[in-house]
Amino acid sequence: MLGDGECEEGSVWEAALFANHFHLENLVAIVDHNHMQSLDNCENTLKLEDFVAKWRSFNWEVREINGNDHDDLRATLKDTSTAHHPMVVIANTTKGKGVSFMENDIKNIPIETKDNNTYMISDTTNNLITILDIPALGKIPG
């Protein structure tokens, strides 16, 4: 599991070369491709596009999916037996999907609490913390 911001690091591409060189056909990497990283949009830090072409140039099989669709993700992970190279699943996601004040907002950082019953949202710009009651919501948003 990788973040697209993490893919700006040379160690990711060194590992990608290694996996192809040693024919690791049973290796599947998932990239959370939401175009965001810690403090800015990936495109403002270091452009990775064309992301699909980059992975293919390392001789990886590439599958692009809607990463917010859990059924799509499950189906893709079940169907990896046809891969003849390492496989990368580029999961195109929306950060904070399902929580209106969080969607595509780089300032909000989710933090799960120790009791797993609440979910804190930290707004790093305004130094605010919002507490969501998970039992009341029925599940963790997103």
pLDDT of residue 30 exceeding 90, the answer is yes
pLDDT of residue 133 exceeding 90, the answer is no
* Burial call 83-118: b when 16+ CB within 10 Å, e when fewer: bebbbbbbbbbbbbeebeebeebbebebeeeeeeeb
- Tally of CB atoms within 10 A around 135: 8
Per-residue pLDDT, 93: 87
Strands 61-66 and 118-123: unpaired
Task: Quickly state the pLDDT bin for 116 (edges 50, 70, 90).
Answer: low
The whole-angstrom separation of Cα 55 and Cα 43 is 17
Q: Which residues pair with 3 in a beta bridge?
A: 32
Per-residue pLDDT, 95: 76
pLDDT digits (tens, 9 = 90+) for 52-110: 999 999 999 999 999 989 899 999 988 877 778 999 999 988 877 766 766 766 666 55
When pLDDT is averaged across residues 123-132 and rounded to a whole number, the result is 50
pLDDT digits (tens, 9 = 90+) for 10-25: 899 999 999 999 999 8
pLDDT greater at residue 30 or residue 81: 30
Per-residue pLDDT, 51: 86
Structure token digits, residue 88: 């990368």
Residue ranges of alpha helices (H) inside the chain are 10-21, 42-45, 51-57, 70-78, 134-137
- Judged by average pLDDT, the poorest of 4-8, 9-13, 42-46 is 42-46
pLDDT greater at residue 18 or residue 117: 18
The whole-angstrom separation of Cα 100 and Cα 85 is 39
The whole-angstrom separation of Cα 70 and Cα 61 is 21
